Amino acid sequence: MKYPNQSRRRFLTTLGATAGVTLAGKSLFNIDKVFATTPYTRLNLAGLTLSSPTIVSYIAGVTAMQALPLTDQRSWAYQAAIHGTTMSGMMPDWNTCSHSTFELNFFWAWHRMYLYWFERIVRSLSGDPTFALPYWDWQANPYLPPMFQNPPTGSPILHVAARNASINNGTSNVGVLTPGVNNAFAQPIFEYTSVDGADQLIQLPHNQVHGMVGGIMGSTLTAAQDPVFFVHHANVDRLWDLWLANNSLNADPTSDSIWGGTSFGFFDENANAVSMTPCDVLRAAQQLNYIYDTEPAQVEQYCGNTQPCSSSYTVLVDNCIQKPPFYLNQGGYYGYYQFPISYQLGQQIYGYLQNPYNTVYLSHYGITCPTQPGVYWDVYLGLPVGSKPNRESPYYVGSYAIYGAGIADQPPDGDDPAEFSVPVNTAILAALKKLPKGGNIPVSFYTYGPPRTTAQGPAQKATVTIQSAQLTLQTVTPTGRAAGHKDEKKQEKKVIATLT
Ligand code: C2O
């Protein structure tokens, strides 16, 4: 269920857009040896207030950037357009953010680079040589950080009226995000193969924050105009470090020379063009000179491994289920479809899950909708039809939200259908227990969204179409993340069973 044409087009677009600032085959960026100072420390916003030096400097930096004309690449408008823009007349590096699923795996790396250069610009223009971006730990603190809320609680510079009103006034939050983060942390594979790698899985909770903050944050084309974007992404970036530290199996795709060698263009604090590759940003402390306030020792990754960094994937079921469109509305939506599981398949799944390195994924492909629905939806596998949803039940498998790919009125990413995968070991075992002879396992969806004010009017209905669903078995054959900085996992692939 890949979309090679769309992916290829997007890939070429990305490379083309950055070609102007890349010297043939060589990254301009090499500052490994430049740092003699202690690293900059990115602080948790939970410990900061409007008068904390970090916030005062962020406000000063944003103010200075907003005062610059669009022709200055350090300006607020130009920097936001590097992420995405609706302006015509493309300038160098505009619209280069990477969120596509499928073969592209630049989400964590591109956003790390983007934040790095943005942070240097704020540091320079704020006049605070110690400035480091703070981060919003939205798992622990799902309410919009106070300094971003409506004034006078928040700063007029950090506040954006074009967000959900109930998020801006602190009465509703962005929802439950830890299950999605845990799903990504449990995936040792970085890149997309038969199922989503960690670089894709981490986008689910990230998307949810975008959609729930809403307004301009709900579209890749406008999100980086909101100052909260950068503290949101500092947290996403922190999660890359935490993912690596979570399990000795987890490793970056350092032997993929296309991944490691693709250059992206940015501008530094003097408005000079610079470029970077993922290989330049694997070790944040060492290569980029910053750390997070409470993270464990960073796991150091190095490019150039000749060992394959992959695992074996076995497709269990490839059952293309065509669904009538799903109508997502503000809160309270419920819908489901049935996944047919034969007795034999059930027995196979039981057998597979005896091995702790095996994971069954439920994937949905070809997800499209006309406009940002402004909701996220909880997904259950095996929850009996008609029963009350309960996130504590074994059937809750995660939450989805759409941002970037799959939203038709948000080109260029919107042209690519979205896809979402979640691990379902616990849920499928619980469901199979109730189906000793095989049968249908329901997959159900419940939507949640911030309440709307009367002034906002009724929510725009967004018809979300899901083209197909698939259960996939992932087998990881671990040999460990060796001391020689190698991420070694054996590769092997065989089809066990196919249902059509
Ligand atoms: Cu490129 Cu969270 O967006």
Atom of ligand 1 nearest to the CA of 206: 2
The predicted-structure confidence for 108-142, as pLDDT tens digits, reads as follows: 999 999 999 999 999 999 999 999 999 999 999 99
Atom of ligand 1 nearest to the CA of 97: 1
Distance from residue 382's CA to the centre of ligand 1 (Å)? 32
Domain 309-499 has CATH 2.60.120: yes
Whether 42 lines ligand 1, by a CB cut-off of 6 Å, is no
Nearest Cα residue to 75 out of 50, 87, 110:
87
**Cα(280)–Cα(283) distance, rounded to whole angstroms?**
8
**Cα(419)–Cα(433) distance, rounded to whole angstroms?**
28
Tell me if 95 sits within 8 A of 109, measured CB to CB.
Answer: no
The predicted-structure confidence for 448-469, as pLDDT tens digits, reads as follows: 877 766 666 655 556 677 777 8
Distance from residue 476's CA to the centre of ligand 1 (Å)? 29
Count of helix runs (H) and strand runs (E) in the chain: 12, 16
Distance from residue 26's CA to the centre of ligand 1 (Å)? 26
Nearest Cα residue to 419 out of 473, 338, 361, 493:
361
Whether 99 lines ligand 1, by a CB cut-off of 6 Å, is yes
Q: Which two tokens stand for residue 456?
A: 């906002």
* Domain residue ranges in the chain: 8-292, 309-499
Which of 155-164, 172-181, 442-451 is predicted with the least confidence, judged by mean pLDDT?
Answer: 442-451
Whether 115 lines ligand 1, by a CB cut-off of 6 Å, is no
Q: Please tell me the predicted confidence (pLDDT) of residue 74.
A: 98
Atom of ligand 1 nearest to the CA of 233: 2
Distance from residue 234's CA to the centre of ligand 1 (Å)? 11
Q: Using pLDDT thresholds of 50, 70 and 90, give the confidence band for residue 489.
A: very low
Look at 462 and 322; give whichever has higher pLDDT.
462
- The CA-to-CA distance between both ends of the chain, in Å, stands at 13
Whether 228 lines ligand 1, by a CB cut-off of 6 Å, is no
Q: Please tell me the predicted confidence (pLDDT) of residue 117.
A: 98
**Cα(182)–Cα(302) distance, rounded to whole angstroms?**
25
Whether 112 lines ligand 1, by a CB cut-off of 6 Å, is no
Query: Can you name the residues that pair with 360 across neighbouring β-strands?
Result: 473
Distance from residue 220's CA to the centre of ligand 1 (Å)? 6
DSSP character at residue 201? H
**Cα(458)–Cα(461) distance, rounded to whole angstroms?**
9
Distance from residue 206's CA to the centre of ligand 1 (Å)? 8
Atom of ligand 1 nearest to the CA of 98: 1
Look at 347 and 332; give whichever has higher pLDDT.
347
Distance from residue 434's CA to the centre of ligand 1 (Å)? 41
Q: Please tell me the predicted confidence (pLDDT) of residue 319.
A: 39
Q: Which two tokens stand for residue 483?
A: 């001391």
Atom of ligand 1 nearest to the CA of 99: 1
Which of 236-245, 318-327, 405-414, 465-474 is predicted with the least confidence, judged by mean pLDDT?
Answer: 318-327
Whether 83 lines ligand 1, by a CB cut-off of 6 Å, is yes
Atom of ligand 1 nearest to the CA of 84: 1
- What are the angstrom distances between the C-alpha of 217 and each of 171, 230, 266, 278, 448? 18, 11, 21, 25, 17
Distance from residue 230's CA to the centre of ligand 1 (Å)? 9
Pick the CATH number of 8-292 from 3.90.79.10, 3.40.50.720, 1.10.1280.10, 3.30.470.20: 1.10.1280.10
**Cα(225)–Cα(215) distance, rounded to whole angstroms?**
11
Residues listed for the chain: 500
Whether 98 lines ligand 1, by a CB cut-off of 6 Å, is no
Distance from residue 229's CA to the centre of ligand 1 (Å)? 8
Atom of ligand 1 nearest to the CA of 232: 2
Distance from residue 335's CA to the centre of ligand 1 (Å)? 28
Calculate the average pLDDT of the chain: 82
Average pLDDT of the residues in 38-60: 97
Percentages helix, strand, coil for the chain (3-state, rounded to 5) are 30, 20, 50
Q: Please tell me the predicted confidence (pLDDT) of residue 482.
A: 43
Whether 206 lines ligand 1, by a CB cut-off of 6 Å, is yes
Whether 447 lines ligand 1, by a CB cut-off of 6 Å, is no
Q: Please tell me the predicted confidence (pLDDT) of residue 38.
A: 85
Look at 82 and 500; give whichever has higher pLDDT.
82
Q: Percentage of residues in the chain with pLDDT exceeding 90?
A: 54
Q: Which residue is closest in CA terms to ligand 1's atom 3? A: 220
Q: Which residue is closest in CA terms to ligand 1's atom 1? A: 97
Whether 223 lines ligand 1, by a CB cut-off of 6 Å, is yes
Residue 20 predicted with pLDDT over 50: no
Amino acid identity at 499: L
The predicted-structure confidence for 54-76, as pLDDT tens digits, reads as follows: 999 999 999 999 999 999 999 99
Atom of ligand 1 nearest to the CA of 110: 1
Distance from residue 21's CA to the centre of ligand 1 (Å)? 22
Distance from residue 92's CA to the centre of ligand 1 (Å)? 19
Atom of ligand 1 nearest to the CA of 111: 1
Whether 97 lines ligand 1, by a CB cut-off of 6 Å, is yes
The predicted-structure confidence for 223-249, as pLDDT tens digits, reads as follows: 999 999 999 999 999 999 999 999 888
Atom of ligand 1 nearest to the CA of 223: 3
Distance from residue 472's CA to the centre of ligand 1 (Å)? 27
Residue 7 predicted with pLDDT over 70: no
Distance from residue 459's CA to the centre of ligand 1 (Å)? 23
